């Protein structure tokens, strides 16, 4: 087979359990959905009004790489916030959300057989994108002892055959945030090993407690080997608009622009105007969104603490990676029973890597009172389960 082509695919899908859970939940009433990663908050109205006005008057010029003004605004934001300089004409590309950016990036970087280092657990779309490109996943395990963050030494031991590192910071599904010092160490490994880094920074504006989020592109000599992947979906509650971007070296951006031109064409202009409004308008709504998630995170963490359910420290974003091993059943079964008996939808850890049967991903995308109610329901589910176990023990 020509290595030029998109590779043959197995068609395997690890998401069948997840699909079944979601479909079951859709048929039920009064389910508290703490599964998906789609912000429940509405897009700020001023963003919608502004996008409509700009499209009405058709402001600005647009190339197949995206709206000029949006690319410039993104470049200015990189310079202002991270002191990173990008040429908006050559080094930034607008995509249909970060998901498309990720998929096209894999096609642009990975040839059949190439090794791609990915943190485990991981967002499952990475597997599909790597699969489409014919790449080989090299999973880098993480653990609770280090809050599920990527460690340089674990990376170092798995470099053989790897050309690309996917670095998701802040992380989905774990919510972990790698400290700036650790990012520097990971950058050093990547630099010495000549890795190209895909830096997924979708949750970077949603860091809690004023924590610093260092982009790996900011580390010494890393910008030229890093592709930054981001979107507006999470930060501004704009998931339905499907708009994101890539920033990276011009030869890479040029390649992805051609791929995008062939596969999906330019991104929706209306959504690009909305993204421009989000980025250049008042950031008050963004701060309100972060405040909301901060309160929800506290309610959820306190609830889990009260139930004695351990979890990795959520440093950013809207996910908590919780250890359900004490319930004595694999995460698929736990989520299925929790849904049926307590009407709470969580996503099983095995949706994010086959070995995570002791974990679940909890999203905090519900109002505080619903999160508190979910914790209460999990508590009752736990009590009923313990009662059942106790009765069985007595009977035997």
**Binding to other proteins, residues 189-248 (CB under 8 A):** 196, 224-225, 227, 237-243, 248
- Between CA 307 and CA 142 the distance in angstroms is 24
Of the candidate spans 35-43, 167-175, 340-348, 375-383, the one that interacts with other proteins by CB under 8 A turns out to be: 35-43
Nearer to other proteins, 225 or 343 (CB): 225
- Between CA 304 and CA 226 the distance in angstroms is 37
Q: Contact with other proteins (CB under 8 A): which of 255, 309, 320, 345? A: 255
β-bridge pairing 136-141 and 115-120: parallel
Does residue 132 belong to the site contacting other proteins (CB under 8 A)? yes
Does residue 58 belong to the site contacting other proteins (CB under 8 A)? yes
Phi/psi region, residue 161 (left: phi>0; alpha: psi -120 to 50; beta: rest), is left
Contact 372, 303 (CB under 8 A): yes
Does residue 271 belong to the site contacting other proteins (CB under 8 A)? yes
Does residue 28 belong to the site contacting other proteins (CB under 8 A)? no
Both tokens of 373, joined, read 């109610």
Tell me how many residues contact other proteins (CB under 8 A): 74
Q: Contact with other proteins (CB under 8 A): which of 13, 59, 87, 284? A: 13
Contact 72, 88 (CB under 8 A): yes
Of 92-121, binders to other proteins (CB under 8 A) are: 96-97, 99-100, 103, 107-111, 114
Rounded to a whole number of angstroms, the minimum distance from the CB of residue 78 to other proteins is 17
Q: How far is CA 210 from CA 177, 207, 236, in A?
A: 12, 7, 18
**x/- map, 133-152, other proteins, by CB under 8 A:** x-------------------
Does residue 125 belong to the site contacting other proteins (CB under 8 A)? yes
Q: Contact with other proteins (CB under 8 A): which of 7, 218, 223, 230? A: 7
Q: How far is CA 353 from CA 17, 173, 358, 370, in A?
A: 13, 10, 11, 28
Relative orientation angle of helices 45-57 and 269-280, to the nearest 10 degrees: 130
Q: Contact with other proteins (CB under 8 A): which of 141, 152, 249, 281? A: 249
Q: Give me the residues paired with residue 118 across strands.
A: 139, 166
**x/- map, 283-322, other proteins, by CB under 8 A:** ----------------------------------------
Both tokens of 227, joined, read 């592709």
Relative orientation angle of helices 269-280 and 68-82, to the nearest 10 degrees: 30
Does residue 48 belong to the site contacting other proteins (CB under 8 A)? yes
Of the candidate spans 77-85, 169-177, 199-207, 255-263, the one that interacts with other proteins by CB under 8 A turns out to be: 255-263
């Amino acid at each position: 087979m020509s290595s030029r082509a998109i590779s043959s695919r197995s068609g395997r899908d690890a998401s069948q359990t997840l699909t079944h859970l979601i479909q079951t939940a859709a048929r039920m009433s009064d389910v508290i959905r703490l599964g998906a990663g789609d912000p429940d908050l509405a897009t700020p109205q001023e963003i919608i009004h502004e996008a409509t006005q700009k499209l009405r008057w058709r402001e600005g010029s647009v190339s197949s790489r995206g709206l000029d003004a949006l690319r410039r605004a993104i470049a200015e934001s990189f310079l202002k916030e991270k002191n990173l300089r990008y040429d908006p004409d050559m080094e930034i590309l607008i995509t249909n959300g970060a998901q498309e950016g990720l998929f096209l990036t894999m096609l642009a970087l990975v040839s059949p057989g190439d090794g791609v280092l990915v943190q485990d657990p991981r967002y499952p779309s990475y597997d599909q994108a790597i699969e489409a490109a014919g790449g080989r996943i090299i999973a880098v395990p993480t653990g609770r002892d280090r809050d599920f963050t990527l460690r340089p030494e674990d990376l170092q031991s798995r470099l053989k055959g790897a050309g690309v590192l996917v670095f998701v910071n802040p992380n989905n599904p774990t919510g972990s945030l790698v400290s700036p010092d650790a990012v520097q160490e990971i950058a050093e490994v990547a630099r010495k090993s000549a890795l190209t880094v895909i830096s997924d920074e979708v949750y970077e504006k949603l860091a809690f407690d004023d924590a610093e989020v260092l982009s790996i592109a900011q580390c010494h000599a890393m910008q030229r080997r890093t592709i930054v992947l981001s979107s507006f979906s999470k930060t501004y509650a704009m998931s339905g608009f499907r708009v994101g971007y890539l920033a990276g070296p011009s030869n890479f951006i040029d390649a992805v622009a051609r791929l995008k031109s062939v596969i999906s064409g330019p991104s929706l202009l209306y959504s690009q105007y909305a993204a421009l409004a989000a980025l250049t308008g008042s950031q008050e709504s963004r701060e309100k969104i972060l405040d909301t998630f901060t309160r929800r995170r506290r309610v959820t963490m306190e609830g889990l603490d009260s139930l004695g359910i351990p979890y990795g420290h959520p440093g950013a974003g809207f996910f908590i990676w919780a250890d359900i091993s004490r319930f004595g059943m694999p995460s698929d079964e736990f989520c299925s029973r929790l849904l049926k008996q307590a009407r709470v939808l969580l996503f099983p850890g095995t949706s994010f890597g086959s070995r995570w049967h002791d974990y679940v991903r909890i999203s905090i995308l519900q109002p505080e009172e619903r999160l508190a109610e979910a914790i209460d329901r999990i508590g009752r589910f736990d009590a009923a389960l313990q009662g059942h176990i106790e009765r069985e023990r007595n009977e035997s």
